[in-house]
Amino acid sequence: MDLFKTMAGYGYGEVHVRRDEASGLSAIIAIHDTRLGPSLGGCRFIHYADEGAAFTDALRLARGMSYKAAITGLDLGGGKSVLIRPKGEFDRARLFEDFGRFIDNLGGRYITAEDSGTATADMDVIRTKTKFVTGVSKEKGGSGDPSPYTALGVRRGIEASVKFKLGRASLDGVHVTVQGVGHVGYYLCKELHALGARLTVCDMDATRTARCADEFKATVVAADSILDVEADVFAPCALGAGINDETIPRLKVKIVAGAANNVLAEPRHGDALRGKGIAYAPDYAINAGGLCNVAQEVQGYDEGKVRERVVKIYDTIYTVLERAEREGVSPHVVADRMAEERLAQR
Ligand code: NAD
Nearest-atom index, ligand 1, CA of 287 = 43
263 Cα nearest atom in ligand 1: 32
The torsion defined by the Cα of 262, 212, 306 and 261, in degrees rounded to 10, comes to 0
Q: What are phi and psi of 44, to 5 degrees?
A: -95, 135
C-alpha 15/C-alpha 4 separation (Å) is 10
Give the span between the Cα atoms of 198 and 171, in whole angstroms: 9
Whether residue 290 has its Cβ less than 6 Å from ligand 1: yes
**Secondary structure (DSSP) of 296-323:** HHHH---HHHHHHHHHTHHHHHHHHHHH
pLDDT, residue 271, reads: 98
Cα(147) to ligand 1 centroid in Å equals 10
Nearest CA to ligand 1 atom 34: 261
Ligand 1 pocket check for 95: Cβ under 6 Å: no
Ligand 1 in reach of 286 Cβ (< 6 A) = no
Residues of the chain with CATH 3.40.50.10860: 3-62+78-140
Candidate list 68, 80, 165, 254, residue with the active-site label? 80
CATH of 147-287+314-344, one of 3.30.70.270, 3.40.50.720, 3.30.465.10, 3.30.420.40: 3.40.50.720
**φ and ψ at residue 32, rounded to 5 degrees:** -85, -45
pTM for this one? 0.95
Q: How far is the CA of 258 from the centre of ligand 1 (A)?
A: 10
243 Cβ neighbours under 8 A, 6+ residues apart: 236, 256, 263, 264, 265, 269, 270, 273, 280
**Would the CB of 247 count as within 6 Å of ligand 1?**
no
Q: Across-strand partners of 280?
A: 256
Q: How far is it, in rounded angstroms, from Cα 336 to Cα 29?
A: 23
Decide if 319 contacts 338 (C-beta within 8 A). Answer: yes
> Which atom of ligand 1 is closest in space to residue 236's alpha carbon?
29
Rounded Cα gap, residues 163 and 170, in angstroms: 8
- CA quadruple 30, 91, 143, 215: dihedral positive or negative? positive
3-state secondary structure at position 86: coil
> Which residue has the least CA distance to atom 41 on ligand 1?
147
* Whole-number CA gyration radius for the chain: 20
Cβ 259 under 6 angstroms from ligand 1: yes
Distance CA 203, CA 237 (A): 10
Q: Is 190 a catalytic residue?
A: no
Ligand 1 proximity of 258 Cβ (cutoff 6 Å): no
* CATH 3.40.50.720 residue ranges for the chain: 147-287+314-344
Minimum CA distance residue for ligand 1 atom 35: 260
CATH 3.40.190.150, domain 3-62+78-140, yes or no: no
For ligand 1, pick from 44, 152, 201, 203 the residue to mutate: most ligand atoms within 8 Å of CB. 203
d(CA 251, CA 253): 6
Taking the C-alpha atoms of residue 246 and residue 223, their distance in angstroms, rounded to an integer, is 15
Kindly state if the Cβ of 303 falls inside 6 Å of ligand 1: no
Give me the tens of pLDDT residue by residue for the chain, a chain 346 residues long: 899 999 999 988 899 999 999 999 999 999 999 999 999 999 999 999 999 999 999 999 999 999 999 999 999 999 999 999 999 999 999 999 999 999 999 999 999 999 989 999 999 999 999 999 999 999 998 998 899 999 999 999 999 999 999 999 999 999 999 999 999 999 999 999 999 999 999 999 999 999 999 999 999 999 999 999 999 999 999 988 999 999 999 999 999 999 999 999 999 999 999 999 999 999 999 999 999 999 999 888 999 999 999 999 999 999 999 999 999 999 999 999 999 999 999 8
Using most ligand atoms within 8 A of CB, pick from 65, 156, 183 the residue to mutate for ligand 1: 183
Q: Are 179 and 236 in contact (CB under 8 A)?
A: yes
pLDDT of residue 1: 83
Q: Is 161 helix (H, G, I), strand (E, B) or coil?
A: helix
Asked if 276 contacts 57 with a C-beta cutoff of 8 angstroms, the reply is no
At 45, is the secondary structure helix, strand, or coil? strand
Q: Which residues contact 142 (CB under 8 A, 6 or more apart)?
A: 120, 123, 124, 127, 134, 135, 136, 297, 301
Q: Is the CB of 126 under 6 A from ligand 1?
A: no
Pairing of the two strands 77-84 and 25-33:
antiparallel
